Chains A and B, each alone.
Chain A
């Protein structure tokens, strides 16, 4: 068709961007010419555009992103740093898995957001309380996926490294961790989604700033355009992290990305 001479990545970008633009245009069109527009029920892109301007010009948006982003980054980083070693050791050492399994399964299965009020009471509405909540939500996908990844390690590769004089430490760093990587990336995707839930829930109670708080506040005020902008911002944050993940995977695991291409 008309894409001849374009690289695959530009075609990909054009189609993706076109689809998003088309989505907003159809949305705008439907609410302008087809359906009756009720601003207490829904908003439309032209109004959101204006709201975005408001939020950016007043400096609110950046402040809220900063306030919510800080605990997100801290909580997520802690989930990586703690979740991966715990999962890996559980996978490799059966006794550790048997010991921790009941606690982790119970915590993973239960709606951790229910703990939010308690955490807020204990640690406050500031960075600390939200970080802990986001950490709790994000850490389980790392633990369980690292665990599953380790269980899938090819025993042959373990034998290869052991036969060449590898010690326990070498097994971890030269076999177990690299074979677990695809599972960790999958876990990270889930953890991003759960972490964003953590942002919103963590700011649900008593918070006075942050993107989650703004979202809820605008909702209460029936400022739907502003509220939708907040939702969009959360989506964009999720997309940026997921894309960053893809890039990171490409950098640290070139063999996989070449394989799946």
Chain B
């Protein structure tokens, strides 16, 4: 089967003013199948966010190109949406208005976007909070809004940049389980960046381990655990073996960090 998302070797160098150029990605290559859940782990600063921004269409690589469903990526598009680590909610908009942002920008009428936004708010468990402003919500609730907003444009691909990193451990476990349910129900392709080996192993079909900067693929680890995955699965020996495998690939990159 043809992969749904594919890239040639991507290279991207930042050349900030008054500072040295940084090559964030060098010959990074990826292939994702439709409906797949893939995580990327790698040392911080290795270019994970940069890659997601290329895929999102906000950054143009110096070399290489990406294709999605056979079409070249030249900018943002409705088939992709991002969930950001720092949520990125508009503070002057209510929960409802934040969720409606994507459809609104596409010029959808209130009549068509509102019911869908409400449905997504219910889906992420925020019923009753439609009129709240972001500052009135906890971190977990904010990221639920972030997720609902990303789903509101009904994208094929969900890009998630350390979406649960700012949350406490319990909220995190809860959100992971809910994300799996939503993924299972809505059949999205997910590319999920995380620092947490446990999170990557629990959620993914495949885990891509990246090298330190400039980031390239070091190893791709397939997670052959049955789904649906419950919390108990995390306590199984197979799960621990997988975590160890990821860790063994990652650790050299970490202590080689500058």
Contacts and interface: CB of A to CB of B under 8 A. Distances in A.
Interface stretch (A47-55, A132-140, A154-162, A226-234): A154-162
A162 B58 CA distance: 8
Contact of A255 (B86, B135, B149): B135
B135 A174 contact: no
B90 A164 contact: no
A175 B81 CA distance: 18
A162 B136 CA distance: 25
B47 to A, nearest CB: 17
Contacts of A85: none
B105 interface: yes
A17 interface: no
Interface in B80-111: 80-82, 84, 86, 88, 90-92, 101-102, 105-106
A161 B101 contact: yes
A157 B84 CA distance: 10
Contact of A157 (B76, B81, B90): B90
A164 B58 CA distance: 10
Contacts of B92: 178-179, 181, 253, 255-256
B105 A166 contact: yes
A147 B61 CA distance: 31
B105 A164 contact: yes
A117 to B, nearest CB: 44
B214 interface: no
Contact of A163 (B82, B86, B90, B136): B82
Contacts, number: 63
A157 B88 contact: yes
B133 A164 contact: no
Interface string A6-19: 00000000000000
B88 A255 contact: no
A259 interface: yes
Given A157-B90, A178-B90, A162 B76 contact: yes
Nearest to A252: B92
Size category of the A interface is 20 to 34
Nearest to A258: B133
A165 interface: yes
Interface residues of B, number: 26
Q: Of A156, A164, A254, which is in contact with the most chain B CB atoms at under 10 Å from its CB?
A: A164
Contacts of A259: 91, 135
Given A164-B81, A164-B102, A159 B88 contact: yes
B153 A164 contact: yes
A161 B105 contact: yes
B76 A164 contact: yes
A27 to B, nearest CB: 44
B58 A174 contact: no
Contacts of B82: 160, 163
Q: Of A163, A181, A256, A259, which is in contact with the most chain B CB atoms at under 10 Å from its CB?
A: A163
A255 B137 CA distance: 12
Contact of B84 (A160, A162, A253, A255): A160
Contact of A175 (B56, B78, B84, B90): B90
Given A157-B88, A255-B92, A163 B135 contact: no
Given A156-B84, A255-B91, A163 B57 contact: yes
A101 interface: no
Sort A-B residue pairs by CB-CB distance and give the 6 closest, nearest first.
Answer: A164-B102, A160-B88, A178-B92, A255-B133, A156-B88, A166-B105
20 contacts: A160-B88, A160-B90, A160-B101, A161-B105, A163-B56, A163-B58, A163-B76, A163-B81, A164-B76, A164-B81, A164-B102, A164-B105, A165-B105, A178-B90, A178-B92, A181-B92, A255-B91, A255-B92, A255-B133, A255-B135
Interface of A: 156-157, 159-166, 170, 174-175, 178-179, 181, 253-256, 258-259
Given A160-B90, A258-B135, 19 more contacts: A156-B88, A157-B88, A159-B84, A160-B84, A163-B76, A164-B81, A164-B101, A164-B105, A164-B153, A165-B76, A165-B105, A165-B153, A166-B105, A174-B90, A174-B101, A174-B105, A178-B92, A181-B92, A255-B92
